[in-house]
Amino acid sequence: MKYNPSLSLPCPKLLLQKNKFYIPSILFFFLCFSFLPNVGIAANTNPQYTQELIQQARAKKLWNDPYWHLLVRYQSNLISGFTSYITTPSFFLAKDGKINPQAELEATIQAFFAEAKKIRLKDDISADAQCRFPARLHWLTKQLNINTKKLPINDCHILHKWEEAIAPKSVSIIFPGYDVSRPGSMFGHISLRFNAKNTHNTLLNFAITYSAAVDQSKELPFLLAIEGLFGGYNGAFQIMPYYKIIQEYTDMDLRDVWEYELRLNKEELQRLLWAIWEVRTSTSDYYFTSRNCASAILMILDTANENWHLHANKGLWRTPKEATRIILKNFPEAIVTYKPSRYSLLRNKLHYMNSTEKDWFYKQFKDNNIRESQEFNQLPKTSKARIFDAQIDAYMLQQKQKVLPKKRMLQRKRASLGVILPEEKQIQYSTDPSIGHDSQKISLGFGKDSYKENFISLFYRPAFHDLLEDPTGFSKISQLTFFGAYLRIQSKARPAIRLQKLNIVDASKLRPYDTIIPSIIWDLNLKLQTDISLAKKRLAPQAQGAVGYSYMTGNILWAALLQGRGSYNCLYKYCHQIGAGAKFQALYRSTYMSLLINTQNGYYFLGDKKAYHQIDLGVAMFISSFSEVRFTYTRYNKKQEFIGRWGFYF
């Protein structure tokens, strides 16, 4: 998604640059002033009144007000003081405004009563503080009871045009589905849409989204995740037509979208618009796990009402799912809408076809001449219409230039039938992401190893979801967990308490193979782990990666992958092992439980050369959305262990 910071009106400077004739500089500035809003050149200043307001602000210590910190994005430092995570210098009116809330507040008051500054021709915004910071002006007016008649007169033409273009009657939270293969969407994504008063077509409304200001197509996904984790990027708001978001998520990424319409009153909508206007051209520190789209949307919503405090619940991780849940807790009457992706629409069409229609659909997908046969022409018109409709959707999903003529030909044939099919009920192929278990998890377990020694196992995971867990509200075909730590307490071991395993990242995508959109599955696991086949225990780095295909039969997902794996551990003779092999998985799910069988067989051909054989069996029973009971069995090169756990989500 390309960065597009704002909706704005262009300065005539752009037009003048293209003119080949000489234009005197006086005329140049006259033209620019004529198109920009009135910046109060003739307005009178009122220094005495300004100082009175500053004294009131000092008496009330308004710079300590949480809402002021919210508007300027201040956060507490570890030891003392505050720092705004806005990184754009022009966002601040005081020289030290980034780190000094009091100086920024007093500079803001002074700027509201100052004479007009010079017009910055490189920006699309007025240099006048009243027009740049309407949210600050509204809040300070209420807090200090400012007599607005004493303010310089400014019509803020560009701001008002921007407000008229959006013209909201309500707002909706937008949650596209999860895509573990894209770092920016591993946890899903959340954005905001303004629902306009003058249109019933939601695609024409404007949406506000927040993301890292980076082109994901030019960066390696793994590097994106690492740099985003440690604040390697700036984040920015983007304002764009909603149809662009829908096109990217539902048509290109094949992700269902969930919408939650919130009813805000007129003042809340206005304050929300003003807050977005103030930050629309600014960038800010971006962190993949905390200062992300979820926290940005919560904070921008909080500007609509000082009493909401949606972003107040801070933690190590802030996911779009958690943010959606927080919002809906405060808006229990939100209207929920499911928007299926193009792939889900095609699946829905195939679901309502009979066996004959499905056979013809798949035949035509492989051989376009079959539909000209006499046998096909003898089908009822309704059957041919269903087949053509599904075929058109399939070609649109492929997004290949060579299929466009075929699609157009099908559209002509479909139109010639003159058949209007009854609308079928849309099946929801994903579940509402606002429900389901929380992403943080802790568990207590008891187990026994190959040496017949009992142990206690403690587990903590900050995020997010694995294949054995209840998939309600999550992707059914992927898993993503970060920094899952396993602590083991064993009385006869030395040391008695040790870190058994640290899963740095464990991610997989197992979408079943489809002839329409063939897809390769993959998994990746980076961890520190003790080797259970060794008597002496030492935490050592291990890496595993695999690619392959998966198929769905009934409620069972079968997967076959080619695997590469390696480890570094100086308990081995050569300190390392690098090998390759095959991995097979079978995943079964029902309403109340899941079963996962995982086998890995291969050979280490570098380092300690030997074969490896590993079997992992896991069974999870879903007690509630807050807890589960899980049993796991692992066998690795004749050594084995069994663990039973009771886990809790929070």
Residues 540-571 pLDDT 10s = 999 999 999 999 998 999 999 999 999 999 88
Q: How confident is the model at residue 216 (pLDDT cuts 50, 70, 90)?
A: low
Q: How confident is the model at residue 409 (pLDDT cuts 50, 70, 90)?
A: confident
**pLDDT surpasses 70 at 264:** yes
Rounded to the nearest 10°, the torsion over CA 129, 134, 139, 140 is 20
Mean pLDDT of the chain: 85
CA 251 to chain centre: 17
Cβ contacts of residue 419 below 8 Å, gap of 6+? Answer: 381, 382, 384, 385
**pLDDT surpasses 50 at 13:** no
Residue-level pLDDT at 65: 96
Scanning the structure block, which residue is given the tokens 């300690």?
A: 608
The region that residue 81 occupies, defined by phi over 0 for left and psi between -120 and 50 for alpha, beta otherwise, is left
Over its C-alpha atoms, the chain yields an Rg (Å, rounded) of 30
Question: Quick check: 97 and 111 in contact, CB under 8 A?
Answer: no
Q: How confident is the model at residue 217 (pLDDT cuts 50, 70, 90)?
A: low
Q: What is the mean pLDDT of residues 494-506?
A: 90
d(CA 578, CA 612): 11
- pTM, two decimals, is 0.85
Percent of the chain at pLDDT > 70 equals 85
Question: Quick check: 595 and 619 in contact, CB under 8 A?
Answer: yes
What stretches of 367-462 show up as alpha helix (H) in DSSP? 374-377, 381-398, 404-417
**pLDDT surpasses 90 at 314:** no
Range with the largest mean pLDDT of 245-254, 371-380, 624-633: 624-633
Question: Quick check: 171 and 195 in contact, CB under 8 A?
Answer: yes
Q: How confident is the model at residue 399 (pLDDT cuts 50, 70, 90)?
A: low
Residue-level pLDDT at 25: 36
Burial track 477-498 (b if 16+ CB lie within 10 A, e otherwise): bbbbbbbbebebebeeeeeeeb
| Residue 270: Cβ within 10 Å count | 17
**pLDDT surpasses 80 at 38:** no
**pLDDT surpasses 60 at 522:** yes
Q: How confident is the model at residue 219 (pLDDT cuts 50, 70, 90)?
A: low
Residue-level pLDDT at 37: 35
Residue-level pLDDT at 178: 86
d(CA 176, CA 341): 10
Q: What is the mean pLDDT of residues 613-638?
A: 95
d(CA 535, CA 538): 10
Residue-level pLDDT at 221: 55
**Under DSSP, is residue 228 helix (H, G, I), strand (E, B) or coil?**
helix
HEC states along 102-122?
HHHHHHHHHHHCCCCCCCCCC
Q: What is the mean pLDDT of residues 603-627?
A: 95
* Residue closest to 539 by CA, chosen among 485, 579, 492, 601: 485
Percent of the chain at pLDDT > 90 equals 60
Q: How many helices (H) and strands (E) does the chain have?
A: 18, 22
Kindly state the DSSP code that residue 31 receives in the 8-state scheme. H
> CA triplet 612, 540, 488: central angle to 5 degrees?
95
Range with the largest mean pLDDT of 243-247, 287-291, 450-454, 507-511: 507-511
